[in-house]
Amino acid sequence: QVQLVESGGGLVQPGGSLRLSCVTSGIILRFYTMGWYRQAPGKQRELVAAITSGGSTNYADSVKGRFTISRDNAKNTVYLQMNSLKPEDTAVYYCNAAVSPYPNWGQGTQVTVSS
Protein backbone atom coordinates (compact mmCIF):
# COMPACT_ATOMS: atom_id res chain seq x y z
CA GLN A 1 0.00 0.00 0.00
CA VAL A 2 1.25 3.46 -0.91
CA GLN A 3 2.11 5.72 2.00
CA LEU A 4 3.07 9.37 1.80
CA VAL A 5 4.40 11.10 4.92
CA GLU A 6 5.00 14.84 4.79
CA SER A 7 6.99 16.84 7.33
CA GLY A 8 8.90 20.07 7.78
CA GLY A 9 6.12 22.61 8.02
CA GLY A 10 5.81 25.25 10.70
CA LEU A 11 5.32 28.90 11.49
CA VAL A 12 7.63 31.29 9.66
CA GLN A 13 7.78 35.04 9.17
CA PRO A 14 7.28 36.57 5.71
CA GLY A 15 10.50 36.31 3.75
CA GLY A 16 11.55 33.19 5.61
CA SER A 17 12.31 29.70 4.36
CA LEU A 18 11.22 26.14 5.02
CA ARG A 19 12.15 22.78 3.58
CA LEU A 20 9.45 20.17 3.31
CA SER A 21 10.10 16.44 3.00
CA CYS A 22 7.88 13.64 1.76
CA VAL A 23 8.90 10.07 2.48
CA THR A 24 7.19 7.55 0.24
CA SER A 25 6.70 3.81 0.56
CA GLY A 26 4.90 1.20 -1.45
CA ILE A 27 6.03 2.65 -4.78
CA ILE A 28 9.23 2.67 -6.80
CA LEU A 29 9.68 6.41 -6.59
CA ARG A 30 12.08 6.76 -9.50
CA PHE A 31 9.36 5.74 -11.99
CA TYR A 32 6.96 8.52 -11.05
CA THR A 33 6.43 12.20 -11.70
CA MET A 34 5.81 13.56 -8.21
CA GLY A 35 4.27 16.78 -7.09
CA TRP A 36 3.73 19.04 -4.14
CA TYR A 37 0.21 20.30 -3.63
CA ARG A 38 -1.25 22.76 -1.19
CA GLN A 39 -4.70 23.54 0.15
CA ALA A 40 -5.49 26.81 1.84
CA PRO A 41 -8.61 27.24 4.01
CA GLY A 42 -11.70 27.51 1.84
CA LYS A 43 -9.80 26.78 -1.36
CA GLN A 44 -9.30 23.77 -3.58
CA ARG A 45 -6.12 21.77 -3.48
CA GLU A 46 -3.66 22.96 -6.12
CA LEU A 47 -0.49 21.54 -7.62
CA VAL A 48 2.38 23.97 -7.05
CA ALA A 49 5.45 21.99 -8.16
CA ALA A 50 6.23 18.80 -10.04
CA ILE A 51 9.34 16.81 -10.86
CA THR A 52 9.61 14.07 -13.48
CA SER A 53 11.52 10.84 -13.15
CA GLY A 54 14.25 12.49 -15.20
CA GLY A 55 14.45 15.50 -12.92
CA SER A 56 12.63 18.07 -15.05
CA THR A 57 10.63 20.50 -12.95
CA ASN A 58 7.58 22.67 -13.38
CA TYR A 59 6.03 25.26 -11.08
CA ALA A 60 2.86 27.20 -10.65
CA ASP A 61 3.31 30.86 -11.49
CA SER A 62 2.58 31.81 -7.89
CA VAL A 63 5.70 30.02 -6.60
CA LYS A 64 8.04 30.18 -9.58
CA GLY A 65 11.45 31.52 -8.60
CA ARG A 66 10.82 30.97 -4.88
CA PHE A 67 10.18 27.21 -4.53
CA THR A 68 12.42 24.36 -5.65
CA ILE A 69 11.30 20.74 -5.88
CA SER A 70 13.86 17.94 -5.78
CA ARG A 71 13.99 14.21 -5.21
CA ASP A 72 16.29 11.56 -3.80
CA ASN A 73 15.14 8.25 -5.23
CA ALA A 74 17.57 6.28 -3.07
CA LYS A 75 15.88 7.72 0.03
CA ASN A 76 12.36 7.49 -1.44
CA THR A 77 11.98 11.17 -0.62
CA VAL A 78 10.73 14.26 -2.39
CA TYR A 79 11.62 17.74 -1.11
CA LEU A 80 10.25 21.25 -1.47
CA GLN A 81 12.55 24.13 -0.63
CA MET A 82 10.48 27.24 -0.06
CA ASN A 83 12.15 30.64 0.07
CA SER A 84 10.84 34.20 0.27
CA LEU A 85 7.64 32.92 1.81
CA LYS A 86 4.54 35.08 1.69
CA PRO A 87 1.38 35.04 3.82
CA GLU A 88 -0.52 33.70 0.81
CA ASP A 89 1.66 30.58 0.91
CA THR A 90 -0.11 29.59 4.12
CA ALA A 91 -1.69 26.17 3.52
CA VAL A 92 -1.45 22.48 4.24
CA TYR A 93 1.13 20.99 1.89
CA TYR A 94 0.89 17.47 0.50
CA CYS A 95 2.92 15.35 -1.86
CA ASN A 96 1.50 12.84 -4.30
CA ALA A 97 1.90 11.68 -7.85
CA ALA A 98 1.54 14.66 -10.16
CA VAL A 99 -0.43 12.65 -12.70
CA SER A 100 -3.30 10.53 -11.37
CA PRO A 101 -2.68 11.12 -7.65
CA TYR A 102 -3.05 8.17 -5.33
CA PRO A 103 -6.38 8.24 -3.47
CA ASN A 104 -4.78 7.82 -0.04
CA TRP A 105 -3.27 11.23 0.60
CA GLY A 106 -0.92 11.74 3.51
CA GLN A 107 -1.77 13.91 6.48
CA GLY A 108 0.05 16.89 5.01
CA THR A 109 2.19 19.43 6.80
CA GLN A 110 0.95 22.85 7.85
CA VAL A 111 2.84 25.91 6.67
CA THR A 112 1.87 29.22 8.25
CA VAL A 113 3.48 32.45 7.10
CA SER A 114 2.75 35.26 9.50
CA SER A 115 4.47 38.03 11.40
Q: Is the pLDDT of residue 90 over 90?
A: yes
Q: Which residue has the higher pLDDT, 30 or 86?
A: 86
pLDDT in the model for residue 9: 98
Q: Which residue has the higher pLDDT, 30 or 23?
A: 23
CA neighbor of 106 nearest in space, from 29, 36, 59, 41: 36
Mean pLDDT, residues 27-38: 91
Q: Is the pLDDT of residue 1 over 90?
A: no
pLDDT in the model for residue 29: 85
Span 5-29, pLDDT tens digits:
999 999 999 999 999 999 999 888 8
pLDDT in the model for residue 26: 87
Element (DSSP H or E) covering residue 67: strand 67-72
Task: Answer yes or no: are the C-beta atoms of 109 and 93 closer than 8 Å.
Answer: yes
Q: How does DSSP classify residue 27?
A: S
